[in-house]
Structure 1
Amino acid sequence: MSDMDHMLTEAAARLTAGGLVAFPTETVYGLGADAENPAAVARIYAAKGRPSGHPIIVHVAPEADLAYWTGTLPPEARALIQAFWPGPLTLILPRAPHIPDAVSGGQDSIGLRCPSHPVAQALLRRFASLKPGGQGGVAAPSANKFGQVSPTHAAHVRSEFPELGPDALLVLEGGPSQVGIESTIVDVSRIGKGVGPVLLRPGHVTAAQIAAVLGREPARPDASAPRASGTLKAHYAPRTPLQILPRRDILRMADEHRKGRIAVVAFSAPDAPPGPDVDWISGARDPEAYARELYALLRHLDEQAYSGIVLEQPPALPEWQAVNDRIGRAAAAFR
């Protein structure tokens, strides 16, 4: 038995016993527990300091019987699953009555996702094989304290929960997350009630890609939309104060800055050298590369004792929507 196979066996056993397992996905690392065990799900909330009304996404294996988790799977959901699963897309669906509402923040909906990362899939399959009927699902928000920067490496998870030793939290290694930001969330739970697909959280799967499958753009969130993971105004924040500025304001600030050492993440170098207390860092010009590097960069900068972090405002273009969403919520924590 290989080391990974041994770890997967132990991880599945931990989940079955109601314990916590952190595991890699293509988006970020998740903090997982048995989705059908309210006491285990409560351990996620306690470890993260997560409000009890904030729902958690349930991860399922590729061959999962979705009818076990939801009573209704509309044609729009089937089309999106066919196009984007396994992958970084979460669907909000009506929750089957026998599934505890601990994962949905008390709502009658449920968020379901099938990740593409091979370690995540192996864990989900191993866990499902131990569950009656083979329908195990793992509830897993990002493996970080609530509202903080999501982890994209196993080391990030360990540093985030120093109070949880290996007996309390098993961390599976899976390399760096390839997407780097959380999944796109689309609400299809109200289609039978006359409400079309709604984009609750942008991500790697774009609104344009969704429209290409469904033949219409997903709507913006409305007042009656279900609560969903990572959609609070302030979220994804580093400990260091962060702000987003257009380039002209950054150049002026860098020239005038005299109070403490700051980090500036910009798309190109300044024409003149910045001041001695300004560290200029090049950010990726491609939105997918920027997203992949974002959280690891914020965590690194958090460790450097800066008095502030400044990000150059990315373009207001559809392909930058997910990045702008994440950094906007991160900056909102300091307003």
Structure 2
Amino acid sequence: MFLVVNAFLMLIAAYGNLVLLTLTTIMEVIVVCFLLSTLGRLPYQLEVAMLSLFAIICLYGTLASLLNCIFSKKLLPLGPALIKNNKKKEAAPTTPCPVASSRGTSGLLKIAKLLENGVCGIPTDTVYALAASCKNPSAIEKIYNIKDRPAEKPICICISSVEQLVAAKPPFSPLLWEFMRNVYPGGISCIVPKGDWLFKLGVGPAYDRVGTKESIMIRVPDHTVTAHLCDITGPLAITSANPSGEPDSTHHDMVIDRLGHKIQGVLCDGESNEVVASTVVNCLKINEGTITILREGCVPAAKVRQIFERVKNSML
């Protein structure tokens, strides 16, 4: 009975590793030795040798498994499986465009490379967006075709931080600067006066393809992945990643399913932080003491006005 059970264990061990197979094999020999010992036909030296070998392999297997587990490396080899499992692994689902994970730098670099010549879906602090490099006006044109977006609707730009904006030295009033410092980064988009300062920001080649003739909408998402991506690529022209008139995309799978066949890649970040887009604030008349909420999004209009009033009163 013991011989049959151990033979079965040997078969299982053959799918494991060489150390485990050797151990079960010696166990089988030891069982045979015990049977011969009862018949008085086993040399004492062979029995001692088998038990010693069994103890050594047990010690080695235990030590190797422990070290390999602790350090997540194969510090001590356990040997290959004698019998290979030839069962085919399920093929990974194919996607209509390249995808990359936001969890690694390699993913960001992959999408940054694709953005040099095309359009990609990216996560933000609100919903997913379609992005194109401001160094590539033709890619921005593609966004309009991909979304079936009306030509009269301007596209905003996304940057990594207020400091990036400060470096471009736009001639904003102290009130506008203070307001932006209080709402950025976050789910608010500010419409500000357009000007040559955009060239210093890195928008040069796409100057005529973003915003309107007089104004530009700026996003500074409160999202580490998006900020790092903008640091790599420079300013990005962005708009929500959905066909015009349809609900926003709140997961990278939605972007892939709806627009994957039209874009060059998707940066996958799972569920979005919000289910609606950013709140759009017109700041063109901020020096006159007023702002206008053009679209109420993830940040309530009442909260935006509360922030503005607090900032305005602090500067009196």
1:204 positional shift: 2.4
Query: Are residues 1:13 and 2:113 paired?
Result: yes
Tell me which residue corresponds to 1:309. none
- Point out where structure 2 has 5 or more consecutive residues left out of the alignment: 1-100
Aligned pair in 2 of structure 1 residues 87, 172: CA closer, same or farther (>3 Å)?
same
Tell me which residue corresponds to 1:45. 144
Which of the numbers 177, 183, 192 marks the counterpart of 1:78? 177
In the aligned structure 1, how far is the partner of 2:127 from the partner of 2:179?
Answer: 21
Query: Are residues 1:175 and 2:270 paired?
Result: yes
SS at match of 1:157: helix
Amino acid of the structure 2 residue aligned with 1:102: R
Tell me which residue corresponds to 1:94. 193
1:82 positional shift: 2.1
SS at match of 2:240: coil
Equivalent positions of 1:213-232 (< 5 A) are 213-215=307-309
SS at match of 2:120: strand
In the aligned structure 2, how far is the partner of 1:216 from the partner of 1:36?
Answer: 37
Tell me which residue corresponds to 1:116. 222
1:4 positional shift: 2.3
Tell me which residue corresponds to 1:191. 286
Q: Give CA-to-partner distance per residue, 1:67-121, whole Å, 9 cap, x none.
A: 56683323333233222211101000011234412111x4320000111122211
Scaled by the length of structure 1, the TM-score of the pair is: 0.55
SS at match of 1:140: strand
In the aligned structure 1, how far is the partner of 2:169 from the partner of 2:243?
Answer: 29
**Contact 1:70–1:96 (CA under 8 A) maintained in structure 2:** no
1:141 positional shift: 0.4
Amino acid of the structure 2 residue aligned with 1:112: I
**Contact 1:60–1:138 (CA under 8 A) maintained in structure 2:** yes
The structure with the larger Rg is 2
In the aligned structure 2, how far is the partner of 1:110 from the partner of 1:22?
Answer: 21
Query: Are residues 1:26 and 2:133 paired?
Result: no
Scaled by the length of structure 2, the TM-score of the pair is: 0.59
1:163 positional shift: 2.7
Equivalent positions of 1:54-65 (< 5 A) are 54-62=153-161, 64-65=163-164
Aligned pair in 2 of structure 1 residues 216, 71: CA closer, same or farther (>3 Å)?
same
Aligned pair in 2 of structure 1 residues 40, 64: CA closer, same or farther (>3 Å)?
farther
**Contact 1:188–1:197 (CA under 8 A) maintained in structure 2:** yes
- Point out where structure 1 has 5 or more consecutive residues left out of the alignment: 128-135, 219-335
How many corresponding residue pairs? 203
Superposed CA RMSD in Å reads 2.5
Equivalent positions of 1:126-145 (< 5 A) are 126-127=232-233, 136-145=234-243
In the aligned structure 2, how far is the partner of 1:49 from the partner of 1:170?
Answer: 18
1:180 positional shift: 1.6
Tell me which residue corresponds to 1:160. 258
Amino acid of the structure 1 residue aligned with 2:151: S
